[in-house]
Structure 1
Amino acid sequence: MTLVPARLDDPRLAALVAEHLAEMEPTTPACSRHALSLEQFRDPAVRLWVAEAAGGLVGSVALKDLGGGHVELKTMRVSPSLRGSGLGRRLLEHALAQARASGATRVSLETGSGEVFAPARGLYRAHGFVDCDPFGDYRPDRHSTFLTLPL
C-alpha cells in the first residue's frame, strides 16, 4: 500500500469522495455534515493524500490550512473492508508528519459525536488530540465533536 498526493482528475478519487459523502448522509443531519466535495479539494489551501492498494483507492486524508500555523484535518477515510487494519492510524500519522513538515503548530478537526464515530474519536485521542471549542467557521453543534493537537 502506498500513500500519494491525490490527483483530482482521477476517476477513482471521484468515486472515493462520493462513497465518503454517501456514508456520511445517514449518520448526521445535512446541516451538521462538513465533509469536502471533490470541487472543494481544488482550494489551494487543501492538500489531499490517498492510499492506493491493488489498483484501487482505499483511504484518504487531507489538511486544510486555516492560517497562522493552524491546519484542519479533513476527509479521514478508510474503506470499510480495511477498517481495523491500522490504515487509519497510518493516514493520521502521515497527515501529522506533513503538518509538522509544513511548519504547522496546531492540527484541529471536527468529527461526529454519534456512536458510529467512536472509533475515529478514539484514534484521534490516542494520538494526543483533546476536546476543544469550535474553530474556524464552525459553530457549536450537538452532532459535532471538536478536537485539537498542539504540535
Structure 2
Amino acid sequence: MVPSIAAETPLQDDIRSMVERLNAYLQPLSPPQFQFQLTVEQMAGADATVFVARDEAGTAVAMGSLKVHDIEMGEVKRMFSEAHVRGRGLGRAILDVIEARARQLGLSRLVLETGATPGFEPAWALYEGAGFTRCSAFLDYPDSEYSRFYEKSLSS
C-alpha cells in the first residue's frame, strides 16, 4: 500500500523528530553557513504548507514543504525520506503533491536550493526526473560551490 500524503502541521513531535534527523543528515554535507534550513516554527507559518507521508501504521516516513514567496513563485523546502523507505518513490510523490498545490495556488514557478556536494546525488536525480532544470541563484541565496539551484515553470 502507498503511504498517505496530507498537509499537516509540523508542530508535532514526530515531525519535529523527522526535521532533527534531516538536519543531522545534512550537517556533514556542507558548511553551516551554506545550509538554509527552515525551522519547524518557520515551516508552520502561513506562507508554508508541509506535506507528510505516513505508512499504514500512521508513522511519518517522509515530508516536504512548499513555501510561497509571492503571487508567482513557490519554493520546495525540507524534502526528506526516512532511510528505510528511500528509493520507493515517496520523494517524487511528495514533490508531485507540492507541485499540485502550487498550481492550485496559481503559482507559475517553483524553485529550490539543494546541496552541490557529494551526498546530494539522489536529490539531483529526483528534481531533474520531475522536470526541474538548473538555474542561477535566486532570492537572497548566495551563489556558491555548495549550492545547486533548480526551477520549474508551471505555466501551461
1:72 aligned to 2:98? no
Runs of 4+ in 1 over 6 A off after TM superposition: none
TM-score (norm 2): 0.92
Per-residue deviation, residues 103-127 of structure 1 (Å, max 9, x unmatched) = 0100000001112111111111112
SS of residue matched to 1:26: helix
Structure 2 stretches lacking a partner, 5+ long:
none
Does the Cα contact within 8 Å between 1:111 and 1:117 map onto a contact in 2? Answer: yes
Structure 1 stretches lacking a partner, 5+ long:
none
Q: Distance in 2 between the 1:11 and 1:105 partners?
A: 34
> Which of 92, 101, 105 does residue 89 from structure 1 map onto?
92
Provide the alpha-carbon RMSD of the alignment.
1.1
TM-score (norm 1): 0.95
Q: Distance in 2 between the 1:126 and 1:92 partners?
A: 11
Q: Distance in 2 between the 1:116 and 1:18 partners?
A: 18
Q: How many residues align?
A: 151
Per-residue deviation, residues 82-116 of structure 1 (Å, max 9, x unmatched) = 11111111111111111111101000000011121
What is aligned with 1:2?
4
SS of residue matched to 1:116: coil
Q: Distance in 1 between the 2:68 and 2:93 partners?
A: 21
Q: Distance in 2 between the 1:112 and 1:137 partners?
A: 16
